[in-house]
Structures are given as structure tokens and as C-alpha cells.
């Protein structure tokens, strides 16, 4: 970004939006058959050896998500193309967002657990890159890392959960897994899946990364962190409901976690002054409501939750983009600095009103239907109904106040904004959110379009027939009364918004929040890592060498104790000459240990080698003996040349610790060899070599035939290693100057 004013992106910037629109159209063609109950499977082999397939399935649930991803994707890509049209980073932004869109599509369409996991991780990674888009800013880097760590940990848990599911079911095709609630590992599976879903969908107490992720550019926040990616956890829970759902622990965990997220988030939403952050907290509220609804299990609860996915995607993406309009057009997102803009920015105003009304759940917007269904579902839930209904009531009322903050606050009253002449940005920017806002109204007026799809989805999730009717007027019932109560409470909350904000700001300092816990844990982890590195890797070569030998010793002894063979019977009855040779070897070895003279040490080393050569001769290894003897001559010659150029060895004091380490290792080798000799020996390979050596390889020296024919590849590798060792030694010997004086 040398000079942002001079840059204007070319027409290519509309390509990604077009691609998304085409994909949206493509998925629309599935709408009719899928609403009629058809399911499309596409299976390609991927890693056949492990039973992993690239399996995809278009059913009502995945189709709805695919439509949201591509539809809202098209709008957000279009918006981004003009939001960043004077920014050289647009290419990077659109590339990353396109990658994300592909990954997200893969996630919702996948029918193979491993495919799903890979796509899931791809969304985590692209989200990390997009949150850290402004990587020059420390805050963005911090938030990106936080989002990555939280969702990454969730991803690991998800992988464990999916693998356990696959093993329990005997297949990795999700649609073929069947009911796993009686699987022996059910609770463990559930724990892992929940951690995966709750971290991704920012459920309490993992919720804090989502407001942090608002460091991303506005189109990204609208797309990833409100409409699509954060719903992946919800999608997962919905997708796995037939396999894992219906148990008490399922119902209660989802209800409690969802309700806690919902209530906590809607309170903190009111505390925010940055409208984008405020929307992020209301997104958390929506996600909590979805989790709670899916946990409810009744067809109203599930249907309500699934309807709410659509509802939420429409109004929340529209509002996020509207906040972007305010930011561009009026110069800030701070609620305090904006008011009375309805004449200056009429289009933003209309969009905000429409979307805000849907968010508040006013009739005849689709938000009203969503809220009604959630109430209905809460009331119908067998046990936790009252609890869920109360939580929904509080959260929805607070949501009305929040909707007021974004839809009323900036537009009414005296005109005020940081920019001198606030005005609507170009049509390319407001047409997308406008479509979403109007769509929210149309879906509310004509909910029949949604009805068939929701029915199919509810059936997919619940695995049995029966779904709520998606319509505007459900008659006079408890849900309607709850709605009226919500409106009253909401109006009250909005009226006293300032007072609530004030007390929340005071509370904020006292309430322990998980963001701080995260920081503490992260720091503790860093400190532990630093301490471990300092302790284990102290930079002293001798420490490393000691650790190596101690480990080696322990491994040898462990092998002895783990082995089945018994120690061979001791047999010391050998000819005197053999004893002499052994004694010479031992004496030379001990001489090397204790001599301070290099010359004696070299001579003794030669003695050890020669004596061992004799042992080889005595036990019929002529070739080996010859090699040993010749190599020993060369070693002695080389060492003699080299040691002249090295300092005297010196003996030093007896090092008890090292002596113990060395003795333990040496004794281990002795007993290990005795144990090996006590075990049976397999001679079939040797016998093959003996029989094939002459007729097939034309050689009478079996050892040589093994080297140059049967196992010639080993020998070839070996001579290559010798050449490499030679080159390396030459390099070391001829290298230039001293590093340090």
C-alpha cells in the first residue's frame, strides 16, 4: 500500500462474486427435488487403503447451508469488491475469502467424516488469515492467534470425536453411521464433538474469540463470523443429531451451554459502543439460541432453530454490512458519535430499519417467525422448557434493545457524525445488504417457500417425520403472549439503555471473563515451554550426550525385561588361547581408559582391533577378520596423523556419575546378548543364501555373494554413504578460518 489513493482495482474484482452467484444458482436447481425429499450422493475414492472417501451429500440440511454460503457469499464478495476497491490488498482478501467459501462448502456437503474434518480445518485456517488480515496491527495478530488456538483445539477434539465415531460405527460415512448413543465410548465421543462444536460456534465459555475476530475487515465479519463459519458448530450438532442426539446429557448440555451463551452475550452486547462489536455479541446470542433449540429435540425446537439459522443469516449479514456503510459513509462505527443520519444516508437507514425489525422479531418479518418457533419449541421441550423459555425471553428482549442501538440510534435525533457530509456509499455496496433486508421481509410475508425445506431439514436432523409449519400467524397461544411480553421488555430495555450500559461497564471489571483466563493460560504455557527448554536444552553438549546414553541404557534394559527369551546358560569352558585373546582385548581397552598418553592410547586401540580380528578368525569369519584388520591399520594411521594436531587427551579425575551410566549400559549390553543367545534363532534367510549362492549367483563365497548380489542395494547405499562421509570430511578439513579467536 504505497499510495492507496492512486489504486483502483480492475473489473476482475467482481469475478469471485459472480462465481458465488453462479454456484448459488446451481444449488437452487436442487431446491425442488430436495424439498420433495430427494437426496443426492456423490462419492469419489480418496484414500481407499484407509476407507476414506471424498463423499458428498446434498440433502435439505446441507443444501440450506450451501445456499446461505453461496448466496450471502455473492453479496459479501460484491460488497468487499467495492469496500476495498482502492486497496491493493483486495486480491489477497478475495482469494482468502474464496478459499474459505470453498472450504465451507466442503464442510457442509461432506458426508465422509474425514472429508468433513479436513474442510473444517481449512475454514479454521482461512479464518485465521482473514482475522489477521491487518497483520501490521498487533490487535489483529493477537485476535487471529486467539481464534486459531481456540478453534484449532476444537478441531483436534473434533478429529478425535469423528475417529471414535467412525471406529464405533465401522464406517466413516456419516449418513451410514446409525445410532451411536449405546456405543461404549459414547460419552467420550460426545465430549470431543461438543468441544469441537462449541469452540467453532463460540459457545460459552469459549465465546470470547468471536468479538476479538472483529479485527477482520467488515465484509469478512459479515460473511465468516456471522453468517457461515460460526454456524459450522451448529451445523455439526444438527448433522450428528441422528447419531448422537436424544440422550439426557445431549439435551441438557446443549440447553445449558446455549442458554448461558445466549444470556451472557445479549447483556454484553448492550455494553458495547462499537456497533460492529455489538453485532458480534448479538451473533453469539443467536448461536446460543441455535444450540439450545437443537438440544430441545422436539420438532418445534429443532425446526425453530433451523428457521432461525436462515433468519439470523439474513438480518445479521445485512446489519454487519450496514455498519460497514456507516463506517464508510459517516466515518465511524462508534454509536456515541452517530445520530440523525436518516436524511443524509437514506438507503442505509431503510436497510437498517428492515433488518433491525427482523432482528427485533417484529411481525411481519421472518425474525418474528423464528422467534415464535423458538418459544414454541422451548415450551414444548419436556423437562427444561421453562428454563429455555425464560432464557429466550430475556435474550430476545435484550435483542430488541440491541436492534434499536443499530437501527434507531444512528438515524434519529440531531444529525451528528465525524464526517462533514455523510452520504450513502456507492450502489454496489448497499445493493447487497438491501437485498438481504428486503429478503427478510419477503420471507416473513411468504414463508411457504421456506416451509418445505425446513420440514425436510427437521426430518434429517430428528431422523423422524414431523415438522412445525413455518407460517406467520400461529394463532393466539402462549408463544404469542411471550412475544408481546418480549416487545414490552425490549422497549423498556432500550429506554434505559444508557443506565444499563453504565452498570455493565462497572460490572465488567469485576466479572472474571474467559478472555483473561485465556491470557493467563497462554502465558503459563509459554512460561512452561521456556522453562522446559532451558532445563532440558541447557546448551551443554555433555548434558545431551549423557541423556542419550542414559536413554540408550534404559531402552536396553527395558528390552531385556520385556523379552521372552531366558538368559543363556553361562559357559566359560573355552580354550586357553581364546582366553588369552579376550584378555588382550580387555587389557587394551582398560589401557585406553586410563592412559594419559596419546601414543599409548593409539597403540592400545590398534590392539583392541587386532584382537577382535583374531576372534573373527577363530569363529570362521574370514572375510570379516580381513576387513577388520585392514580397517584397524587405517584407523591407527589416521588417528596418529590427526592426534598430532589435537591436544593431549588427559585422564582427569574419576567421574562416578558417568562411570555408573556407562556401567549400566555395558551390563545391559552383556545381559542383552546373553538373552539373545538364549532365544531361538531363525536361520531360514541364511539357508536361502547358502542354497542359492552358487546355482543362482555363481559365487562360492556366500558372504561376498550377499554383499554384491543378494543385498547389493544395501552395499550400493553403503558406498554412497562412504563417499558422502568422505566429501563431508574433506569439507571439514579444508574449511577456512577460525570462527572465534
Residues 627-666 that bind another protein (CB under 8 A): 627-628, 630-631, 633-635, 637-639, 641-650, 652, 655, 658-659, 661-663, 665-666
Helices 232-244 and 448-462 pack at an angle, to 10 degrees, of 50
Q: Looking at beta carbons only, is 412 or 549 nearer to another protein?
A: 549
- Only segment of 169-177, 383-391, 483-491, 689-697 that touches another protein (CB under 8 A): 689-697
In angstroms, the CA 588 to CA 583 distance is 8
Smallest separation (angstroms) from another protein to the CB of 669: 5
Site string for another protein, 698-737 (x = CB under 8 A): xxxxxxxxxxxx-xxxxxx-xxxxxx-xxxxxx-xxxx-x
In angstroms, the CA 289 to CA 374 distance is 8
Site string for another protein, 445-484 (x = CB under 8 A): ----------------------------------------
Task: Please tell me whether residue 603 binds another protein under the rule CB under 8 A.
Answer: no
Rule CB under 8 A: choose which of 54, 249, 592, 600 binds another protein.
Answer: 592
Smallest separation (angstroms) from another protein to the CB of 698: 5
What lies within 8 Å, CB to CB, of 208 at 6+ separation is 146, 202, 513, 514, 515, 518
Q: Looking at beta carbons only, is 213 or 705 nearer to another protein?
A: 705
Phi and psi at 339, nearest 5°, equal: -165, 160
- Only segment of 60-68, 353-361, 389-397, 668-676 that touches another protein (CB under 8 A): 668-676
Task: Please tell me whether residue 587 binds another protein under the rule CB under 8 A.
Answer: no
DSSP 174: G
Do 345 and 326 touch, CB atoms closer than 8 A? yes
Q: Write out the binding residues for another protein, residues 419-448 only, by CB under 8 A.
A: none
Q: Looking at beta carbons only, is 262 or 705 nearer to another protein?
A: 705
Q: Looking at beta carbons only, is 10 or 736 nearer to another protein?
A: 736
Q: Looking at beta carbons only, is 452 or 661 nearer to another protein?
A: 661
Task: Please tell me whether residue 102 binds another protein under the rule CB under 8 A.
Answer: no
Q: How many CB atoms lie within 10 A of CB 484?
A: 10
Q: How many CB atoms lie within 10 A of CB 700?
A: 9
Smallest separation (angstroms) from another protein to the CB of 55: 40
Do 1 and 82 touch, CB atoms closer than 8 A? no
Do 413 and 365 touch, CB atoms closer than 8 A? no
What size, in residues, is the chain?
741
Q: Write out the binding residues for another protein, residues 522-561 only, by CB under 8 A.
A: 534, 537, 539-542, 545-546, 549
Smallest separation (angstroms) from another protein to the CB of 528: 18
Task: Please tell me whether residue 610 binds another protein under the rule CB under 8 A.
Answer: no
Output the CA torsion 388→389→391→393 (10° steps): 160
Q: Looking at beta carbons only, is 514 or 715 nearer to another protein?
A: 715
Q: Write out the binding residues for another protein, residues 203-232 only, by CB under 8 A.
A: none
Task: Please tell me whether residue 489 binds another protein under the rule CB under 8 A.
Answer: no
Task: Please tell me whether residue 570 binds another protein under the rule CB under 8 A.
Answer: yes
Smallest separation (angstroms) from another protein to the CB of 564: 16
Q: Looking at beta carbons only, is 558 or 642 nearer to another protein?
A: 642
Phi and psi at 110, nearest 5°, equal: -65, 140
Site string for another protein, 267-296 (x = CB under 8 A): ------------------------------
Do 55 and 65 touch, CB atoms closer than 8 A? no
Q: Looking at beta carbons only, is 142 or 671 nearer to another protein?
A: 671
Rule CB under 8 A: choose which of 421, 562, 572, 576 binds another protein.
Answer: 572
In angstroms, the CA 366 to CA 364 distance is 7
Do 66 and 109 touch, CB atoms closer than 8 A? yes
Task: Please tell me whether residue 563 binds another protein under the rule CB under 8 A.
Answer: no
By three-state DSSP, how is residue 363 classified? coil
Instruction: Give the β-pairing of 52-58 and 40-47.
Output: antiparallel
In angstroms, the CA 58 to CA 61 distance is 8
Smallest separation (angstroms) from another protein to the CB of 522: 23
Task: Please tell me whether residue 614 binds another protein under the rule CB under 8 A.
Answer: no
What lies within 8 Å, CB to CB, of 83 at 6+ separation is 217, 218, 219, 324, 328, 429
Task: Please tell me whether residue 576 binds another protein under the rule CB under 8 A.
Answer: no
Burial class (CB in 10 A: 0-12, 13-18, 19+), 737: exposed
Smallest separation (angstroms) from another protein to the CB of 239: 49
Task: Please tell me whether residue 584 binds another protein under the rule CB under 8 A.
Answer: no
Smallest separation (angstroms) from another protein to the CB of 694: 5
Sign of CA dihedral 458, 459, 460, 461: positive
Sign of CA dihedral 729, 730, 735, 741: positive
Q: Looking at beta carbons only, is 519 or 623 nearer to another protein?
A: 623
Question: How close are the terminal C-alpha atoms of the chain, in Å?
Answer: 47
Matching residue, cell 440531531: 414
- Only segment of 23-31, 49-57, 459-467, 614-622 that touches another protein (CB under 8 A): 614-622
Smallest separation (angstroms) from another protein to the CB of 683: 7
- Only segment of 162-170, 205-213, 420-428, 620-628 that touches another protein (CB under 8 A): 620-628
417 Rama sector, left if φ>0, alpha if ψ -120 to 50, beta otherwise: beta
# residues near another protein by CB under 8 A: 128
Do 389 and 378 touch, CB atoms closer than 8 A? yes
Q: Which of 27, 24, 25, 63 is nearest to 456 (CA)?
A: 63
Do 490 and 398 touch, CB atoms closer than 8 A? yes
- Only segment of 82-90, 434-442, 459-467, 610-618 that touches another protein (CB under 8 A): 610-618
- Only segment of 169-177, 246-254, 449-457, 625-633 that touches another protein (CB under 8 A): 625-633
475 Rama sector, left if φ>0, alpha if ψ -120 to 50, beta otherwise: left
Rule CB under 8 A: choose which of 598, 600, 603, 607 binds another protein.
Answer: 598
- HEC per residue, 126-139: HHHHHHCCCCCCHH
Smallest separation (angstroms) from another protein to the CB of 261: 45
H-helix or E-strand spanning residue 269: helix 248-271
Rule CB under 8 A: choose which of 15, 39, 438, 697 binds another protein.
Answer: 697
Task: Please tell me whether residue 19 binds another protein under the rule CB under 8 A.
Answer: no
Residue 307 corresponds to which cell in the numbers above? 428457521
Q: Write out the binding residues for another protein, residues 669-688 only, by CB under 8 A.
A: 669-674, 676-677, 681, 683, 685-686
Amino acid at each position: 500500500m504505497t499510495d492507496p489513493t492512486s489504486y483502483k482495482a480492475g473489473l476482475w474484482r467482481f469475478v469471485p462474486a459472480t462465481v458465488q452467484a453462479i454456484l448459488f444458482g446451481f444449488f437452487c436447481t436442487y431446491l425442488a427435488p430436495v424439498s420433495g425429499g430427494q437426496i443426492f450422493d456423490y462419492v469419489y475414492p480418496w484414500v481407499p487403503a484407509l476407507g476414506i472417501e471424498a463423499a458428498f451429500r446434498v440433502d435439505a440440511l446441507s443444501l440450506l447451508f450451501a445456499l446461505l454460503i453461496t448466496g450471502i457469499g455473492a453479496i459479501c464478495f460484491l460488497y468487499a469488491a467495492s469496500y476495498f476497491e482502492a486497496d491493493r490488498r483486495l486480491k489477497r482478501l478475495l482469494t482468502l475469502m474464496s478459499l474459505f467459501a470453498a472450504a465451507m462448502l466442503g464442510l457442509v456437503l461432506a458426508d465422509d467424516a474425514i472429508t468433513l474434518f479436513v474442510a473444517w480445518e481449512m475454514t479454521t485456517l482461512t479464518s485465521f488469515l482473514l482475522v489477521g488480515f491487518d497483520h501490521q496491527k498487533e490487535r489483529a495478530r493477537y485476535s487471529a492467534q486467539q481464534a486459531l488456538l481456540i478453534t484449532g483445539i476444537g478441531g483436534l477434539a473434533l478429529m478425535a470425536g469423528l475417529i471414535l465415531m467412525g471406529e464405533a460405527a465401522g464406517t466413516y460415512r456419516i449418513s451410514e453411521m446409525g445410532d451411536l448413543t449405546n456405543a461404549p465410548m459414547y460419552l467420550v465421543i460426545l465430549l470431543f464433538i461438543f468441544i469441537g462444536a462449541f469452540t467453532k460456534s463460540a459457545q460459552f465459555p469459549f465465546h470470547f474469540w468471536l468479538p476479538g475476530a472483529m479485527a477482520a475487515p467488515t465484509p469478512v465479519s459479515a460473511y465468516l463470523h456471522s453468517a457461515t463459519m460460526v454456524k459450522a458448530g451448529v451445523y455439526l450438532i444438527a448433522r450428528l443429531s441422528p447419531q448422537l442426539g436424544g440422550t439426557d446429557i445431549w439435551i441438557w448440555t446443549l440447553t445449558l451451554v446455549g442458554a448461558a451463551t445466549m444470556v451472557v452475550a445479549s447483556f454484553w452486547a448492550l455494553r458495547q459502543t462499537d456497533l460492529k462489536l455489538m453485532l458480534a455479541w448479538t451473533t453469539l446470542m443467536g448461536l446460543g439460541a441455535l444450540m439450545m433449540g437443537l438440544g430441545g429435540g422436539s420438532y418445534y425446537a429443532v425446526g425453530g432453530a433451523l428457521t432461525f439459522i436462515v433468519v439470523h443469516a439474513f438480518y445479521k449479514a445485512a446489519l454487519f454490512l450496514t455498519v460497514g456503510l456507516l463506517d464508510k459513509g459517516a466515518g465511524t462505527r462508534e454509536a456515541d458519535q452517530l445520530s440523525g443520519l436518516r436524511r443524509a444516508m437514506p438507503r442505509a437507514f431503510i436497510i437498517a430499519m428492515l433488518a433491525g425489525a427482523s432482528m427485533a422479531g417484529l411481525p411481519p418479518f421472518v425474525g418474528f417467525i423464528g422467534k415464535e418457533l423458538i418459544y414454541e419449541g422451548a415450551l414444548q421441550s419436556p423437562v427444561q422448557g421453562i428454563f429455555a423459555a425464560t432464557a429466550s425471553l430475556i435474550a430476545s428482549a435484550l435483542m430488541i434493545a440491541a436492534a434499536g442501538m443499530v437501527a434507531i440510534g444512528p438515524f434519529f435525533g440531531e444529525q451528528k457524525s465525524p464526517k462533514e457530509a455523510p452520504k450513502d456509499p456507492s450502489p454496489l455496496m448497499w445493493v447487497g445488504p438491501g437485498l438481504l433486508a428486503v429478503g427478510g421481509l419477503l420471507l416473513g410475508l411468504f414463508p411457504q417457500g421456506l416451509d418445505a425445506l425446513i420440514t425436510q431439514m427437521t426430518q434429517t436432523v430428528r431422523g423422524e417425520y414431523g415438522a412445525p409449519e413455518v407460517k406467520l400467524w400461529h394463532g393466539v397461544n402462549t408463544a404469542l403472549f411471550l412475544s408481546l411480553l418480549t416487545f414490552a421488555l425490549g422497549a423498556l430495555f432500550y429506554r434505559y439503555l444508557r443506565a444499563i450500559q453504565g452498570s455493565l461497564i462497572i460490572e465488567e471489571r469485576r466479572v472474571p471473563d474467559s478472555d483473561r483466563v485465556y491470557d493467563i493460560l497462554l502465558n503459563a504455557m509459554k512460561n512452561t515451554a521456556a522453562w522446559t527448554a532451558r532445563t532440558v536444552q541447557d546448551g551443554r553438549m555433555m548434558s545431551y550426550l549423557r541423556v542419550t546414553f542414559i536413554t540408550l541404557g534404559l531402552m536396553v534394559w527395558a528390552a531385556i525385561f520385556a523379552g521372552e527369551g531366558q538368559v543363556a546358560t553361562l559357559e566359560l569352558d573355552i580354550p586357553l588361547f581364546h582366553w588369552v585373546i579376550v584378555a588382550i582385548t580387555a587389557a587394551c581397552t582398560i589401557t585406553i581408559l586410563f592412559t594419559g598418553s596419546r601414543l599409548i592410547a593409539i597403540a592400545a586401540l590398534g590392539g583392541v582391533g587386532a584382537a577382535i580380528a583374531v576372534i573373527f578368525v577363530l569363529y570362521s569369519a574370514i572375510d570379516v577378520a580381513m576387513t577388520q584388520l585392514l580397517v584397524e591399520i587405517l584407523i591407527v594411521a589416521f588417528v596418529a596423523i590427526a592426534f598430532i594436531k589435537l591436544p593431549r587427551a588427559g585422564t582427569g579425575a574419576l567421574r562416578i556419575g558417568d562411570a555408573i551410566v556407562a556401567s549400566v549400559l555395558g551390563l545391559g549390553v552383556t545381559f542383552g546378548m546373553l538373552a539373545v543367545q538364549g532365544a531361538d534363532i531363525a536361520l531360514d534367510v541364511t539357508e536361502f543364501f547358502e542354497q542359492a549362492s552358487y546355482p543362482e549367483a555363481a559365487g562360492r563365497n556366500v558372504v561376498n555373494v550377499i554383499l554384491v548380489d543378494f543385498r547389493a542395494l544395501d552395499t550400493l547405499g553403503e558406498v554412497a554413504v562412504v563417499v558422502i562421509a568422505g566429501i563431508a570430511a574433506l569439507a571439514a578439513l579444508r574449511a577456512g578460518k577460525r570462527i572465534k579467536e
